[in-house]
Structure 1
Amino acid sequence: MDSDSSGKPDSPINRPGSVEIQLQFGTPPNVETELISNVTDPHLVCNCVSEVLLAPLVNYLKTLGYPLDNAMIWYYSPTARLNVYCGNDPLPFSISIPMFELKDNKLSLTCRGAIRNKFGTVVTLGSTPSTKSKPEEEGSADHKSSRRTKERKIGYIIEKVSKWRKLYNGTPNSKGELQKMTLEEAAAKVGISKKSLDDYLLQLRFGRKFGFNFQEHKDDKVGILRAYVKKCKSLHSYAKKIEDGEPIPADVIQKLQEAGTPACKHNRCCAPNYSLPYKHSEQQPSLPLVYPNYPSF
C-alpha cells in the first residue's frame, strides 16, 4: 500500500468532507421531514474502503433531539431506486453505505417508530413475536436452518422478481384495462415475501451495475450473486483511482485479477469495467452479461 512521507498508509480515496442528511422520521400519519446540513467529522466516519458508517450519523441525530431511539432505519439507494432496510437503532457499527450511493454527498434516511409486542419489547422488522417455550424455539430454529440450505437459484429469482414487478406495474385484463396490485399483494401472488423480493431486487440491480454475468450463472445459487456484489462494493472506491492511473495496493490488484466468483469458468466472466485492465489476457469467448429477456427493474 502507498504511504506518505510520515510512513503512514494513504487514506482511502473519495472520503467525503461532509454530508447533507434528509431525514424523515415519525410514525405514520405523523411523519416529519428535516434537512441536516454540513455533517462532518467526528460524526461522519468512514471504514477502510471509504464507506460511510451509519451508526455514528444516527447517534449524532439523536443528540440533536430527533426521536430515533429503537427506530427502524432505511436509507434510499439511488442505484437500486428503493429504500434499503438497515435494522433497528442501535445499529451495529458494521452497517455502512458505499460512497457511490451518496449523490452529491446527500443521504436520505427514513426512520420509523419502533414496533413493540404486547410485552413492550421492540420487534425487529421481519420478525414475529413469540411465546414459545425454549425447546419449541430450538426445534423451530433447527427447522428454519434446514430450510435455509435450499437456497434459490439466480434464474429463478429473476423470474419471480420480474413477475412481481409486472403485477405491481399492472397487467391488462380481458377488457384491456390495466389492473395493478400493491407490492404486498403482488408478493403474495408470486409466493415469496416482499422482504425477500426487495432484497433480491437490490442484489439484481447491483449485479447489473457491476457487470455480473447472469446468463452464465443462471443455474447457480443466489449466494454467488450476493458474494459478488459484496466484493465489488469493497473494490468500487478504487474505480476512480484506476481510471486516473494512480497506484493501487497490491492486495486490491490481486482481487481485481481474480475471477469474479468461485463459479466463474474464467476470470473475465464477471468483471466491472474498471477491473478489466488487470485481468489475464487469455482469449475467452465473449459472453453476454445479461440474462435473456432480463427485465428492466
Structure 2
Amino acid sequence: MSETLLKSFETTWVPRINTYLDENLRDCSDREILTAAIRYSVLAGGKRLRPLLTLAVLTSFDQPVTAANLRASVALELMHTYSLIHDDLPAMDNDRLRRGEPTSHVKFGEDIAILAGDALQPLSFQWLADSGLPATMVAHLTLGLAQASGPRGMVAGQVADVKNTGHQLALPALRQLHREKTGALIHYAVAAGVIQAQVADPVAHELLAFADAFGLAFQIYDDILDVTSTPAELGKATHKDADEQKNTYPELLGLAGAKAALKTALATATSALQRASKDSQRDFELLASFLTYFTD
C-alpha cells in the first residue's frame, strides 16, 4: 500500500518537477557553455527526493501547491545538484560516473564544472527570493537553506568526510558527519514544507525528527548499496568507499551491523510520524511511504 502510494505521488510530481527545471533553466545564463553544464547535471535524472519531501508535507496538510510553492520547493534541487557536481570533482571524490553518465568535470572540464556548481548555489536562493511567497516565509526558507548547505551543514560534513579519510571515526562522530553532509538538506526539505504549510509545534518538531531519521537511513542505505551493488545497478562507481578508506556504516559496524542501524533509523522515523499524527489528528501515510525507498 505504502509503496503504491509513493509511486503514485512520484508519477504525479516527478514529471512536473523535471518539466519545471527544463523550462526554467533554458536561459539561466547568457554563457552558452555555462547553461549547458548546468542543464546537463540538473536534468540528468535522479529521484527528486528532496523537493518531493517538501511537496509531500504540503499535501499532507491539504495545501494546494501553487506556482510559488513549486518554485520554492524545486529550488532545493539546484542546491543539491551543486553539491553533487563539487562532490564528484578530482579534489573531492574524483568520480567519473554519475547516474550512469560522465560527471560534469569529465564532460565539460574541471573549470566549467566548478563554475556550474558555483552558479547553482545563488540560483537556488534566487528562486526562493522571486518565488512570490510572502516575504517572511521567504526569509525563513532562505535562512534554513543557508544553514543546511553552509559551514555548519552540508559543507561541514564534507570537510569531516575528506579530512577523516583513512582515519576511522567513532559512531557518534560518524553520525554527526552524515547528519551534516547528507542529512542537513533532507532536514531542510521537510522544514521547507513545514514553513510553507505553517505547521506549529509540537507537530513541526516531530516531522523534523522524522526528517533526521530519514536522512540517517538514507546515508546508511547508500553505504550498504556501495558494498552490495554493481556500477550498472547504481549508475556510479561502487566499492570506492572501502578502497579509499572512507568512513561508512558497513566499514565501522560490518554489513550486518549497518543493516541493523538502518532498521533502527526506520523505526525512529516511523515513531516520529506516529507522534505527529497523534498530535495533529492527521494522516501522514504519504510521508511514511517514503520509507519504502529502503525496503530492497
TM-score (norm 1): 0.27
Which protein is bigger by CA-based radius of gyration? 1
Higher RCO, 1 vs 2 (CA within 8 Å, ≥6 residues apart)? 2
TM-score (norm 2): 0.27
- Higher share in strand: 1
